Amino acid sequence: MSAIRFFHMADLHLDSPFKGLFGLPEHNFKKIRTSTFEAFNTIIDKAIQEKPDFLLIVGDIYDGENRSLQAQRRFQEAMEKLFQHNIPVILSYGNHDHLNGSWTRFALPSNVYELPAETSVVQLNIRGQQVNIYGFSYSERHVKESKIESYPIASDQHVLHIGMLHGSEFSDTTHAVYAPFTKEQLLERHYHYWALGHIHKRQLLHQNPPIVYPGNIQSRHRKEQGIKGFYDVTLSQASIELDFIPTSAVVYNTVEVDCKNMFHANELLKKCEEALSLNRQAYGASVVELHLKNIDEHASSLFEHATVDAWLETIREAEEGIEPMCWVQKLVLHTSSTLYEHTAATKSVANLMEQWDISAWKDILKDLYQHAGGARFIDPLTEQDIKALMHNAQELLAEEIQRT
Ligand SMILES: [Mn+2]
């Protein structure tokens, strides 16, 4: 039996309003304001080009329960395009676009299967391979109870079983906990793939069978950092391949500038421009948090007669008109630890850190680097990484103790 191929995405949040962005030139704001649509179009173009067997969209297609007219029109148009190319779409609605909201209704073409509030199955036949896709839509905003018992246990293993679930792990309290589940409960269903949504940070909860959060397709604020996208999945009884495809129209991230031994304002400005230019080359249009590190006694004089706001304004002005845009949303100052009096306690911890060798650091970081799903997304630990980590830890320690 040949393998099937599908795109797994979630949390499109079309027409997200991007609140909390101030002071941008109009065209920059427009670029950000339309980024959810741009990211979505990237997916649709890719689908038309590559012709996967189907698309899965696991909740929060729309940002608001009133499903803005513009978002619906764009979504409807995209679905029509896929209809013309015979690409089915199976979708569920999540907490943001639950079925109990009030909205002006657009009818979707017949290639689109909208999962109802009751957990249901959509059966597809892909070149002789039967595929069962299970899932449900949120009947209301707050679905707090576990829905996992409503998913049938797969018995016929000739069929490929895929679960769609917009929700979060019982233990994950970083988000509103909706439709909670445990990894064990998902595995007990004996499905070949779990297509999750709701958590906007991309993560693999389990490798084989894959339990996957693709993350959202476009960051919506500074806490959603890094490149966003979806998974291009090739699945058969015997094998699984996951390919992450970036879609961010605007990347949110952090840029650092080392201010050690800096004397002059133009020096700082030049360093900032260089760092932002590198960021622009690497990520294209972006919204950045600019961190000024190692502000020692020399560099701190740069902030004696100019406020942080004045600096922010000056840096923004220097960037104006350069394409693709690199909007500095926030300027964060990090005072060098040399400016702090270490207390006896922080000094002893800092000294202890200096004594750790590479294997000690590996041991400390093992949860991260040995993480079944996550490890392959991070580069191996280098000597330099360790130095940076140690320095940051010492700086944080000194800062925090000083503050308390
Ligand atoms: Mn969401």
The predicted pLDDT at position 376 comes to 64
Distance 61 CA to ligand 1 centre (A): 8
Say how many Å lie between the CA of residue 199 and the centre of ligand 1. Answer: 6
Helix (H) or strand (E) holding 55: strand 54-58
User: Do residues 134 and 164 touch, judged by C-beta distance below 8 A?
Assistant: yes
Question: In whole angstroms, what separates CA 186 from the centre of its chain?
Answer: 22
Cα of 63 to ligand 1 centre, how many Å?
Answer: 8
Structure confidence by residue, pLDDT tens digits, 272-320 = 999 999 999 999 999 999 999 999 888 989 888 899 999 999 999 999 9
**Interval between CA 147 and ligand 1 midpoint (Å):** 18
Distance 192 CA to ligand 1 centre (A): 24
SS3 272: helix
Amino acid at 153: I
CA proximity to 293, closest of 261, 251, 317, 326: 261
Task: Calculate how far, in angstroms, residue 184's C-alpha sits from the geometric centre of ligand 1.
Answer: 23
Q: Do β-strands 160-166 and 193-197 pair in parallel, antiparallel, or remain unpaired? A: parallel
Ligand 1 centre from 220 Cα, in Å? Answer: 10
Find out whether 199 and 369 touch, Cβ atoms under 8 Å.
no
C-alpha of residue 332 to centroid of ligand 1, in Å: 28
16 CA to centre of ligand 1 in angstroms: 11
Rounded to whole angstroms, the Cα distance separating 385 from 404 reads: 28
| Centroid of ligand 1 to alpha carbon of 14 (angstroms) | 10
CA of 167 to the centre of ligand 1 (A): 9
Measured in angstroms, how far is the CA atom of residue 96 from the centroid of ligand 1? 7
Strand runs labelled E in 69-110: 89-92
Residue with the two structure tokens 């940076």: 388
User: Residue 391 has what pLDDT?
Assistant: 77
8 A C-beta contact, residue 2 and residue 129:
yes
Rounded CA-CA distance 93/72 in Å is 13
If you classify domain 4-246 with CATH, what class do you get? alpha beta
CA 160–ligand 1 middle distance (angstroms): 27
- What's the 107 CA to ligand 1 centre distance in angstroms? 23
Q: What is the 3-state secondary structure (H, E, C) of 41-63?
A: HHHHHHHHHHCCCEEEEECCCEC
CA of 31 to the centre of ligand 1 (A): 21
Cα separation, 386 vs 392, in Å, equals: 10
Give distance in angstroms: CA of 11 to centre of ligand 1: 4
Whether omega for the bond prior to residue 324 falls within 30 degrees of 0, making it cis, is yes
Domain ranges of the chain: 4-246, 250-336, 340-404
Cα distances from 229 to residues 12, 14, 49, 214, in angstroms, run: 10, 14, 17, 7
Report how far residue 361's alpha carbon sits from residue 351's, in angstroms, rounded to the nearest whole number: 14
Distance 198 CA to ligand 1 centre (A): 4
Strand pairing category for 251-258 and 211-213: unpaired
If you measure from the C-alpha of residue 176 to the centroid of ligand 1, how many angstroms do you get, rounded to a whole number?
A: 10
Q: Which residues pair with 245 in a beta bridge?
A: 230
What parts of the chain have a pLDDT lower than 50? none
